[in-house]
Amino acid sequence: MSERPTAQELTEAIAEFLGGEILPILDDHRLRFRTLVAMNALSIVHRELAALPQEDDAGRRELARRIRAGEVPPGTLAAVKADVEARLQVTSPRYLDGY
Amino acid sequence: MIARMRESLQAVLGPVSEPVLLAGGASKEAWAVDAGGERLLVRRAAVGVIHRHTLSLRQEFEVLSAAYEAGVKAPRPIAYLDDLDGREAFVMERLEGETIGRRIVRMDVPAELPVQMAEEIAKIHAIPRTRLPFLEDARLERMVEELDEFGEPHPAIELGLWWLRENRPPAREPVVVHGDFRIGNLVVDERGLVGVLDWEFAHVDDPVRDLAFSLVRAWRFGVPERRLGGIGDAEPYVDRYNELTSFDVRAEELDYWELAGNVGWAIGCLTQAQRHLRGQDRSVELAVLGRLGAEVEYEICHLLERVGVV
């Protein structure tokens, strides 16, 4: 597991935000109800994510170890960049438009 | 709590208006108060620290005082309070102007802003070390130590660190540095630079590292084509700095430290996320920063390509 917070940890952060900061300031009971429903939906996502196999980061770990040891053959940067780009496609795809 | 704080402040400043908590600042609270017709800002410790290697508020007040004495455009320091309703704090002038980076890059700022930034950072770098004997020397190794604490593999950061180790420019005589000199820690208005804020990262370091920090892409606030903090070109900034300091900073040296700034901030994003993950400061904002570090890692790759790494 190399991407922290994990997807599951992100749903926890959102649930805490909704429950701790948004719910207490909602007076409108329709909005309160919908927020509670949204939190319940989030908890479904949380449990569903728990059932998924964990990401295998052995390759990334090995690459990081080699670079630390000074083993940087040609092609290393391209491999590293492709890995970061793949992560960005999930995390922040529009960021790549700036390049 | 506000009433107690107001009482403590009045003991030092005389009658003050009711303190109003300002937005932002995860590690420090900022309160606006007025006293004797002056607009003041109270900077007070909050729960949790942003970074282990930051100054205490007492030290930060000392640094601000030294900078102000040296003629740096900065808020006038007023008083240090070791116990403001249970936490340490200091009072300074509240400058008028914009401090939100994202807004500054969209403002109509004068073309002289890069030159004005150079003039202030040159004055900071001329503050004698002996004036602030508690400031510590920076070590590049600290970045590696922090990264190792997380136990997460980040090949892009490793590659950046590797290149920095292999290509270190000749060491310069270390000077007093601001440590976080960038758009976002400046007060700016339509006439340009009003003041330099947030002195908590001050330390003793290579001056070019401090100079190049404002070039880091994350501090261009969505205007990446303007290398200096999204507001201008690097050349007038560096040229003016060289005129004032005779340091003769070379372009490759600036590139080196820009890359180091990105590596530092990539690790900084992970550090911030750890505060959330370890429960020191639970926040969606900090959690997401852990993932947004990938943006900084991409920039590291981009800069490594530019210096010819394959």
- Return all residues near B98 (Cβ < 8 A) that are at least 6 apart: B104, B107, B187, B188, B189
* B158–A92 CB contact, under 8 Å: no
Out of B158, B290, B295, closest to residue A5 by CB: B290
Which residues in chain A have Cβ-Cβ distances shorter than 8 Å to B292? Answer: 91-92
In the prediction, which pLDDT does B151 show? 87
Percent of chain B with pLDDT strictly greater than 90: 79
> Any chain B CB within 8 A of the CB of A64?
yes
Q: Nearest residue of B to residue A98 by CA position?
A: B224
Q: ∠B203-B283-A37 over CA atoms, to 5°? A: 170
If you write DSSP's letter for every residue of B219-263 in order, what string do you get?
GGTT-TTSTBTTTB-HHHHHHHHHHHH-----HHHHHHHHHHHHH
**Share above pLDDT 90 across residues of chain A, in percent, rounded to a whole number:** 89
Contact A60 B153 (CB under 8 A): yes
Mean pLDDT across the stretch A24-39? Answer: 96
Q: Helix, strand, or coil here: A88?
A: helix
Among A5, A80, A84, the residue with its CB nearest the CB of B277 is: A5
pLDDT at B3 over 90: no
ipTM of the predicted assembly exceeds 0.90:
yes
Q: Burial-class residue B210 by CB neighbours within 10 Å (0-12, 13-18, 19+).
A: buried
pLDDT band at B51 (very low <50, low <70, confident <90, very high): low
- Domains in chain B: ranges and CATH: 2-93 (3.30.200.20), 101-306 (3.90.1200.10)
Q: Which of B143, B149, B154, B216 is the best residue to mutate to test the A interface, defined by the most A CB atoms within 10 Å of its own CB?
A: B154
Phi, psi of B85, deg, nearest 5? 50, 50
Question: Pick from A70, A72, A85: which is nearest to B298 by CB?
Answer: A85
Interface test with B, best of A11, A14, A61, A81 (most B CBs within 10 A): A81
pLDDT-based confidence at residue B24 (cuts at 50, 70, 90): low
The structural domains of chain A, with segments of one domain joined by +, span 1-55, 57-99
Contact A16 B282 (CB under 8 A): yes
Confidence bin at B177 (pLDDT 50/70/90): very high
pLDDT for B19 equals 92
Token pair of B55, please? 């100054």
Integer Cα distance of B297 and B310 in angstroms:
16
**Across B69-80, average pLDDT:** 97
Q: Which residue of A lies nearest to B287 if distances are taken between CA atoms? A: A5
CA atoms within 13 A on the CB side of A57: 17
**For testing the chain A interface, which of B157, B262, B310 should be mutated: the one with the most A CBs within 10 Å?**
B310
Would you state the pLDDT for residue A56? 86
CA gyration radius for chain A? 19
Position A47 scores a pLDDT of: 96
Q: pLDDT tens digits for B29-41?
A: 899 999 988 999 9
- pLDDT band of B25, cuts 50, 70, 90: low
For residue B110, what pLDDT band results from cuts at 50, 70 and 90?
very high
Residue of chain B with shortest Cα separation from A62 = B153
Give the pLDDT mean for B139-158.
Answer: 91
Q: Does A70 sit within 8 Å of B310, measured CB to CB?
A: no
Q: Is residue A84 within 8 angstroms of chain B, CB to CB? A: yes
**pLDDT (0 to 100) of residue B167:** 96
Q: How far apart are CA B192 and CA B98, in angstroms?
A: 10
pTM: 0.93
The pLDDT assigned to A55 comes to: 82
